Structure 1
């Protein structure tokens, strides 16, 4: 019981401290951009750090659910790669975003689930096993799905280097995750000792991506900052709503519905910002940079709204979590 309370406190610290750190750093990078602009040269390194730390938190049992309960995982991952990209297109048209911001929002909708989603699912009393598995599976298939979606949906105004994007995702996402997973398997006792530190390393990596993007676009943010902020919030909130309704439509238990909302609505914002900045333009990185703050704030609000709502007897069970997920 005491260990569970300690995990809960650690998870809460991560989810509430994360957006505060990113928001404060983004403000500083906006006001004093010069020291942060060079960070844009190290985007691949930051992305590798983010994904490597994620891989270190995974274990083989995290993937067993694919075999034990494949349907909710399959439904969730497909829904994520359908709902969020098409929702990005709709939101971009509604707000009449320019091509750079539109493709950045599409990139945000086309990347895998965010690493903070597992913590949000735990605090919201969702199905944590489903959350971890959906994040893992969406990350592994992202080198195929993300370039495919960008090629199919970006329109004729924006050229997309599909092969280059796929290869970059293999290098910065797939390989670091696999290497981290292998190290966790063979060096589990040592890795277990550093697990509490890993979320903070991931946060620093996301900070490196976001602060560089904000600094490189400090002047542009003066004119488009508000519209980007609103577009990202709308995209995120409707992702939660449609994700939850997806679970309800397939008659999943309440814990799974909550997780569907979180996993579909929460994207890997740091990855989106880094990839958009690398393959399109500094301005295209803005939706992902803004989402790094917004997704965690809305996640905290979501936890506050649903955590104390009753679960049915069938789904009211205790969930465990690796806080570092």
Structure 2
């Protein structure tokens, strides 16, 4: 188990680079992951089941004890990201499956990578996990409703099917994980140590499947605007999330958590639902988002961590050079 855990940490350290290499490999050899295409919902279920296994009673108690920051962060996520997605579709005149894909990823709950980025940046991880949990639990209602509101003019939105699928794919695995954790407790600690590795491998398989399924249309004139749109979408989410957290006067660690929670999406869920209910091209924005938000999140967390370390170093230096009291 120690070797598995060590490999998981290594994979996590270089995950962004590995994602890019894996996506390029599947683009050059699309047959590699075609077998995964019909199984993406199961892979996502495994990821969310693992999330459920890590949740404890105190995770839900935090939402009850400190509901205001959690609720405001969740509302900010579901207001800012879908609206930005819709606005970018108008500005760049996107339509059809591409527009639906951009709005779909914008309507997804918070991404699981956000808690890692918040931890690395010195953010409030407890608040981050709480917002992630609440936004995920609300996904069966929020996601179909937001798609109907913002993407209904592009394609017919199967709201009832999306609602049921999101319950099956998202809620059922999480609830099952929570129940198993509550029954077995510390006896499953050995399994939970391997969960980061399992989740990362599942995400890689989903990315490979989406790239393989969209091999012919991934780099075409129709999708040329997707990359800048996805980048602007994510960066705008960071910026507005940070601004919102300042407006409600949260402290620095909480601002960092909400910034990541607003700007990072569960792009694996977006890709899975896009391939199941819409054209394969609708999964392209989620795939690009998955790659890009890991890059941008790593850069932002490194910047914040470096700034914190510089401030601590300056404070320590000022303390050591201050004249001694008499």
Is TM more than 0.5 here? yes
Q: Quote the Cα distance in structure 2 between the aligned partners of 1:196 and 1:93.
A: 44
Aligned to 2:299: 301
- How has the CA–CA distance of structure 1 residues 12 and 255 changed in structure 2, closer, same or farther, with 3 Å as cutoff? farther
Q: 1:221 Cα deviation (Å)?
A: 1.2
Q: 1:116 Cα deviation (Å)?
A: 1.1
1:245-260 correspondence to structure 2 within 5 Å = 245-260=243-258
Aligned to 2:183: 186
Instruction: Find 1:36's aligned residue among 17, 33, 38.
Output: 33
- How has the CA–CA distance of structure 1 residues 51 and 229 changed in structure 2, closer, same or farther, with 3 Å as cutoff? same
SS at match of 1:54: helix
- How has the CA–CA distance of structure 1 residues 100 and 23 changed in structure 2, closer, same or farther, with 3 Å as cutoff? same
1:1-325 correspondence to structure 2 within 5 Å = 13=10, 15-223=12-220, 224=222, 226-310=224-308
Q: Quote the Cα distance in structure 1 between the aligned partners of 2:58 and 2:123.
A: 18
Q: 1:115-162 CA distances to partner (integer Å, 9 max, x unpaired)? A: 111111111000111001000111111011101111111132211000
Q: 1:222 Cα deviation (Å)?
A: 2.2
Q: 1:272 Cα deviation (Å)?
A: 0.7
The answer to whether the 8 A contact 1:16-1:296 is kept is no
Larger displacement relative to structure 2 (127-136 or 226-235): 226-235
The answer to whether the 8 A contact 2:8-2:197 is kept is no
Q: 1:49 Cα deviation (Å)?
A: 1.0
RMSD value over aligned CA atoms?
A: 2.0
Q: 1:101-121 CA distances to partner (integer Å, 9 max, x unpaired)? A: 111111111111111111111
Q: 1:31-63 CA distances to partner (integer Å, 9 max, x unpaired)? A: 111232231111211111111111111111111
Q: Quote the Cα distance in structure 1 between the aligned partners of 2:89 and 2:36.
A: 28
Q: 1:199-221 CA distances to partner (integer Å, 9 max, x unpaired)? A: 11111222222111111111111
Question: How many residues in Structure 1 have an aligned counterpart in Structure 2?
Answer: 306
Q: 1:169-227 CA distances to partner (integer Å, 9 max, x unpaired)? A: 11110010011111112212222112221011111222222111111111111215542
TM-score w.r.t. length of structure 1: 0.89
Q: 1:242-301 CA distances to partner (integer Å, 9 max, x unpaired)? A: 001110010011111111100000000111111111111100000111111111111100
Q: Quote the Cα distance in structure 2 between the aligned partners of 1:74 and 1:163.
A: 25
Larger Rg: 2
The answer to whether the 8 A contact 1:48-1:172 is kept is yes
TM-score w.r.t. length of structure 2: 0.89
Q: Quote the Cα distance in structure 2 between the aligned partners of 1:10 and 1:41.
A: 28
The answer to whether the 8 A contact 1:217-1:283 is kept is yes
Give the unaligned 5+ runs of structure 2.
313-326
Aligned to 1:4: none
Give the unaligned 5+ runs of structure 1.
1-6, 314-325
Q: 1:16 Cα deviation (Å)?
A: 3.5
SS at match of 2:109: coil
